[in-house]
Chain A
Amino acid sequence: MADVDTGLLEGTDTTQKTDLPWEVILWNDPVSLISLVVRVLRKVFSYDLPTAERLTMTVHHEGKAMVWSGSRQEASGYCLALQGYALTATIQPSA
């Protein structure tokens, strides 16, 4: 299903919210185990172990990490999957 662009009619850009890549951000929390986060990243995104470990350590040391980017719809689905494990995750458009 295509997005309807009414921007030319209304003088506003209504396509940017869905057309730009969106990022899934995973935030650090003090109680979730590193092993749990690694496991969830592997399960949700099918990442290999080194990738999941690298992202987890970025979250741990820097407070957050961008763990995936792509369409808004897919980002929302991944975000919900992470939240299903009580991890703190959000989505945002790529800067």
Chain B
Amino acid sequence: MSEPFIRTASGIAVDLPRPLRRWLIEQAAAAADDAVSANGPVKRRLFGPIDLAADHDDPVAELQRQFAVEGSLGVLVETAQATELSEEQAEEWIRGLQLVLVAAAARQAIVTDDDLARIDEQRGAELQTIQALISLLIDALDP
């Protein structure tokens, strides 16, 4: 595979294999579904309380977080087949990929380094794929 993300004059050129793009769409859709699943591990992880001492968070803040998550994952799904991203879309990809990564970790109950060390090979490879995409995109955005 050539460089998956390359900075251009107008944004970021994307060169990812089709199966990987389809997989990203599936992962982003799964994260979006799990983010609204009542009391599931992904929802608890993504929408943890801001103030641990408070009974509940500000409902406006709750909505802001929900919109932000839906927005980033939505952009990732909508532009997963794109060959070029604007700066703004690339930033949403960073957020979206990070949400996908953390959601996958939450599903597998990964909280500590020891948890991460004991997941099976396939799950580990999936996490590493997402991490690699984040790293490569950061390198392209901030050379």
Contact = CB atoms under 8 A, between A and B. Distances in A.
A and B are interacting partners: yes
Interface of A: 29-33, 35-36, 39, 76, 79-80, 83-92
Nearest to B131: A33
B1 interface: no
Interface residues of B, number: 36
B51 A31 contact: no
Contacts of A79: 50
A80 B101 contact: no
Contacts of A30: 105, 110-113, 115-116
Interchain residue pairs A-B with the least CB separation, the first 5: A86-B102, A30-B116, A31-B105, A84-B68, A86-B98
B61 A39 contact: no
Contact of A31 (B50, B53, B95, B102): B102
Nearest to B99: A86
Contacts, number: 81
Contact of B101 (A31, A35, A92): A31
A86 B104 CA distance: 12
Contact of B46 (A32, A36, A86, A90): A86
6 contacts: A33-B131, A35-B134, A83-B68, A86-B46, A88-B48, A90-B48
B116 A36 contact: no
B52 interface: yes
A35 B135 CA distance: 7
Contacts of A80: 50, 61, 64-65, 68
A91 B51 contact: yes
B65 to A, nearest CB: 6
A46 B14 CA distance: 27
A31 B65 contact: no
B68 A36 contact: no
